[in-house]
Amino acid sequence: MDPRRFLELAVILKGGQASPEFYRTSISRAYYAAFNFGVQTLASIGVRCSKGPGAHGDLTKCLGGCGVQACEKAGARLQALRGRRIDADYEMEEIGSETRKEADLACLEANAVMVALGKLTDDPTMALSRASVKRHASEVLRLTVS
């Protein structure tokens, strides 16, 4: 499945019924769009994240410490978006997740992460950046790299 479909769903949900459950679910889907896109992007350049919950940390650590400014910024955005998703999914008393503004922001952040990571694989001038990500994943994080 193409994870961009989750972002499409997030946009539909935030524009639908004005209710907490729609906004919270939009935030969650926006995060998972960016997360799954990131995991697929790393896989496409030969970096394998862990299976299960560890993949969330693998992805943000891989992006966050690779030395590529665009990837590090995407990793920071993804980490912040993950915090929003956790609030939306688990912190029922946290009403900040129940607004259209917060859902809008989550969708914008997810899109920004996906655009940045898309360049990592689609832009031929990013070969050195891809190598830097792979080196960090292998040498520092001890992830499987091919």
Decide: helix, strand or coil at residue 98. helix
Give pTM, 2 decimals.
Answer: 0.95
Sign of CA dihedral 97, 103, 108, 114: positive
Tokens representing 24?
A: 């919270």
The CA distance from 13 to 5, in Å, is 12
| Residue 106 pLDDT > 90 | yes
The predicted structure's pLDDT at residue 122: 87
With bands split at pLDDT 50, 70 and 90, how would you rate the model's confidence at 114? very high
User: Percent of the chain beyond pLDDT 70?
Assistant: 100
- Judging by beta carbons within 10 Å of its beta carbon (0-12, 13-18, 19+), is residue 138 exposed, middle or buried? middle
Place of tokens 């907490």: 20
The DSSP symbol for 48 reads: E
Q: Which helix (H) or strand (E) holds 18?
A: none
C-alpha dihedral (110, 39, 53, 22), degrees to nearest 10: 30
Please give the full DSSP string across 73-108, using - where no structure is assigned: HHHHHHHHHHHHHHHHHH-TT-GGGGSHHHHHHHHH
The predicted structure's pLDDT at residue 133: 96
Distance of CA 67 to the CA centre of its chain: 18
